[in-house]
Amino acid sequence: MELLVATLAHLNPGRAADGAARIRLIAETIRNAPALVSVQCYQSRSNETYYFILTTWEDEKAWQQARERYDPKGLLLGSATELLAQAPEQWFMRYLWGYSRPASKATLAAVHLATANHNQGELAQRGWIESLRRQAMQPALAFAFLARGVSENATDTPGQITAIGDSAAGQRDYEQGPIFLNFLSWANETDREEFYADPNYRAISRFLSSIGIVQVLTLEAL
């Protein structure tokens, strides 16, 4: 099963140009990794300066074998320490749902990171997937996926990664509660606004905020 590694790096103010160049170099390094499926890099569209890196690996074993040389967080700490406002955050995820409309080129993106209470994790997952399926029937979305996992801080033992988000096998999430990552992208601002105005989005947004903490990152491709 593919493993998604999501990495968020906040930079010091005024270092956006240096940060973009460093992130591109790190991405080129990661592209040399064996068993890498994809790497995607995004930069913030807000007043804050941050970068978001998504790497997908063939499976957990592939990630563990590549981790020492190609870990995005490790590469940031090793080559961009002077640019970082704080230590990067990193999550290990399993894909739950995905959607792509090849005719629509994604230019704008957003990531919704939600930490749900333990007893609401399965309910949040079912409701979120159903809401996304309904909105995917409309032409607004260009590309999107929903993933579930844990923070890297929750597990440093390689074998523990296999437990993330595997609700079908009855696996438990860790003490901080399940973490969901919803990546969304649109071809233009009009499509983005239509998506956020949709009653399905408004309903699931209210529900998620009532059972946990939601962080929204506004992004564009680097």
Which two three-digit tokens encode residue 201?
Answer: 């989005």
Average pLDDT over residues 191-212: 92
Please identify which residue in the block is written with the tokens 């406002």: 85
Are 31 and 81 contacting, i.e. CB atoms less than 8 angstroms apart?
no
- Per the prediction, the chain carries an average pLDDT of 88
As a residue count, the chain comes to: 222
- pLDDT grade for 117, boundaries at 50, 70 and 90: confident
- Residue 38: what pLDDT? 96
Percent of the chain at pLDDT exceeding 90: 71
Q: Is pTM, for the whole model, over 0.85?
A: yes
- Residue 161: what pLDDT? 54
Which residues are bridge partners to 18 per DSSP? none
Sign of torsion over alpha carbons 69, 74, 78, 80: positive
